[in-house]
A and B are shown apart, each in its own frame.
Chain A
Amino acid sequence: DAGVTQSPTHLIKTRGQQVTLRCSPKSGHDTVSWYQQALGQGPQFIFQYYEEEERQRGNFPDRFSGHQFPNYSSELNVNALLLGDSALYLCASSLAGGAVNTEAFFGQGTRLTVV
Chain B
Amino acid sequence: KQEVTQIPAALSVPEGENLVLNCSFTDSAIYNLQWFRQDPGKGLTSLLLIQSSQREQTSGRLNASLDKSSGRSTLYIAASQPGDSATYLCAVKTGNQFYFGTGTSLTVIP
Contact = CB atoms under 8 A, between A and B. Distances in A.
Nearest to B103: A42
A4 B36 CA distance: 15
B98 to A, nearest CB: 7
Interface string B90-105: 0101011111111100
A4 B43 CA distance: 10
Contact of B97 (A6, A45, A105): A45
B98 A100 contact: no
Contacts of B52: 100
Contact of A48 (B4, B31, B97, B103): B97
B81 to A, nearest CB: 23
A66 B43 CA distance: 20
Interface string A21-60: 0000000000001010000111111001000000110100
A104 B41 contact: no
Given A48-B97, A101-B51, A103-B49, 8 more contacts: A42-B101, A42-B102, A56-B95, A92-B98, A100-B93, A103-B34, A103-B46, A106-B46
Interface of B: 4, 31-32, 34, 36, 41-46, 49, 51-52, 89, 91, 93, 95-103
Interface of A: 4, 6, 33, 35, 40-45, 48, 55-56, 58, 88, 90, 92, 97-98, 100-101, 103-109, 111
